[in-house]
Chains A and B, each alone.
Chain A
């Protein structure tokens, strides 16, 4: 459903992405891990064309979205994005944050959009926070609103850019729980350091370093029998540092 072919991206003179290729099928959850600065976030932004790649193609549902002639705003409705810094709209309530995309982009009736937003907030466990503003919410709550906002648009895939990296440790669990509940139902591509999530929820782990995909495979294989020494090194170190948030 989503295909990345040989993605290259430069910033100034530095090449951040040096030819990344992989794909996702509908309903899959894939997790990208790797050291910071290796282009993981850049890759996500290349997918929804926020930062179009210099070379290479991105195909979504059989359509080439790197093509400059297409209406990228229409395509973006199909790609949800959850940010590390949440990026909620501060002047809107949680409910309105979720419904505004439906109202203004999908041109839904206000009442219908409101109902749908309420349903999505309920799905992430925030039905009681509907009338609160982002400033009144905890980090974990804000991120869950961010997820609800992405879900409301009925995207084909949701990209998660280190969704829990800015959260207090206590609040990480509630967000990972929501993400886990989506696995299988929503196609997800997640950049994260949360090894527990990667191990328990991902269909495939993609290890990136220096702008390349070093290795990818099922969590079991990647943790137990990685092909590359570097993979084993990285996974081992991170697993020790970050530990697990859910018991297997």
Chain B
């Protein structure tokens, strides 16, 4: 006979919220790094020359071809073996950032390539330097064009923070596990996991709503990337 009481369940919430804070921290910190680095990688491949372009190509292929869990272990255990000892939290951020940057590099690169070169030429004819053209003409458009794909990447990183559990990072899922690992709370496994799933679901919903609003606000007239009816 499974007995679950609401009071106890609600009593778990503060701990779960603590885990959620770590989940959000992991998400935001790895995304910041991944977005900046991804943009640099994209520009490196579009504007750079060999061997830089080849190196970046290899980087993208590798970090998109290896499971996140493997990346986590490489960064945490692998580096640890050669003397680079990272905290689990740091290792998780690094692992998430490395992988996400590879995907974001592709997103930004395809946005850059979709902007006609003529606009860059027009900017140069006004007297802008190459750098000014990139900053004022290229990047604003790249960011706007990337919003839909980037939003998707955001929610992917958010959900994949749960894999950091394997490194012992006290994010949401691990905290939940710590609760129902206690024998007297075995009956609460299902409700707790349902709550965890619900929390993720709500956060993803909220994030999508906010990013959807941004997408509307910043979409470029005439460059609709949504699906046609």
Chain A residues at the B interface, C-beta cutoff of 8 Å: 48, 50, 73-74, 76-77, 79-81, 83, 85, 87-91, 100-101, 104-106, 133-136, 146, 149, 153
* B residues less than 8 Å from A105 (CB atoms): 126-128, 132
A83 and B126 contact, CB distance less than 8 A: no
A83 and B122 contact, CB distance less than 8 A: yes
Chain B residues at the A interface, C-beta cutoff of 8 Å: 115-116, 118-119, 121-129, 132, 136-137, 140-141, 144, 220-223
* A residues less than 8 Å from B221 (CB atoms): 133-136
B121 and A101 contact, CB distance less than 8 A: no
The answer to whether residues A104 and B124 also contact, given A90-B119, A91-B140, A133-B221 and a CB cut-off of 8 A, is no
Q: Complex: how many Å from CA A91 to CA B221?
A: 8
Q: Complex: how many Å from CA A8 to CA B122?
A: 24
Q: Complex: how many Å from CA A90 to CA B125?
A: 17
29 contacts between A and B (CB under 8 A): A48-B125, A50-B121, A50-B125, A73-B128, A77-B127, A80-B125, A85-B118, A87-B119, A89-B119, A89-B122, A89-B123, A89-B141, A90-B141, A90-B223, A91-B140, A91-B220, A100-B136, A101-B128, A104-B128, A104-B132, A105-B126, A133-B220, A133-B221, A133-B222, A134-B221, A135-B221, A136-B221, A136-B222, A146-B122
B121 and A73 contact, CB distance less than 8 A: no
Q: Complex: how many Å from CA A89 to CA B223?
A: 13
Q: Interface majority SS on B: helix, strand, loop or mixed?
A: helix
* B residues less than 8 Å from A48 (CB atoms): 125
Quick one: closest B residue to A80, CB to CB?
Answer: B125
Q: Complex: how many Å from CA A9 to CA B204?
A: 57
Q: Choose among A73, A80, A106 the residue with the greatest number of B CB atoms under 10 Å from its CB.
A: A73
| A90 shortest CB reach to chain B, Å | 6
Q: Complex: how many Å from CA A145 to CA B57?
A: 39
Quick one: closest A residue to B135, CB to CB?
Answer: A104
The answer to whether residues A153 and B116 also contact, given A90-B141, A135-B220, A136-B222 and a CB cut-off of 8 A, is no
User: Which single member of B118, B222, B223 contacts A83 (CB below 8 Å)?
Assistant: B118
B222 and A87 contact, CB distance less than 8 A: no
| B142 shortest CB reach to chain A, Å | 10
| A145 shortest CB reach to chain B, Å | 11
User: Which single member of A74, A88, A90 contacts B127 (CB below 8 Å)?
Assistant: A74
Q: Complex: how many Å from CA A88 to CA B137?
A: 10
* B residues less than 8 Å from A77 (CB atoms): 126-127
* B residues less than 8 Å from A87 (CB atoms): 116, 118-119, 121-122
B126 and A153 contact, CB distance less than 8 A: yes
Q: Complex: how many Å from CA A101 to CA B121?
A: 13
Q: Complex: how many Å from CA A226 to CA B191?
A: 93
A101 and B220 contact, CB distance less than 8 A: no
| A96 shortest CB reach to chain B, Å | 10
* A residues less than 8 Å from B125 (CB atoms): 48, 50, 76, 79-81
The answer to whether residues A90 and B222 also contact, given A50-B121, A85-B118 and a CB cut-off of 8 A, is yes
B121 and A135 contact, CB distance less than 8 A: no
| A164 shortest CB reach to chain B, Å | 17
Quick one: closest B residue to A105, CB to CB?
Answer: B127
Quick one: closest B residue to A74, CB to CB?
Answer: B127
Q: Complex: how many Å from CA A87 to CA B128?
A: 15
| A65 shortest CB reach to chain B, Å | 13
User: Which single member of B127, B137, B222 contacts A153 (CB below 8 Å)?
Assistant: B127
Q: Complex: how many Å from CA A90 to CA B114?
A: 12
| B132 shortest CB reach to chain A, Å | 6
A73 and B220 contact, CB distance less than 8 A: no
| A210 shortest CB reach to chain B, Å | 26
Q: Given known contacts A89-B137, A90-B119, what 7 new A-B pairs fall within 8 Å (CB)? A: A76-B127, A91-B141, A101-B126, A105-B132, A133-B221, A135-B223, A149-B122
User: Which single member of A76, A91, A135, A136 contacts B126 (CB below 8 Å)?
Assistant: A76
* A residues less than 8 Å from B137 (CB atoms): 89
Q: Which 6 A-B pairs have the closest CB atoms?
A: A135-B222, A77-B127, A87-B122, A101-B126, A87-B118, A81-B125
| B22 shortest CB reach to chain A, Å | 37
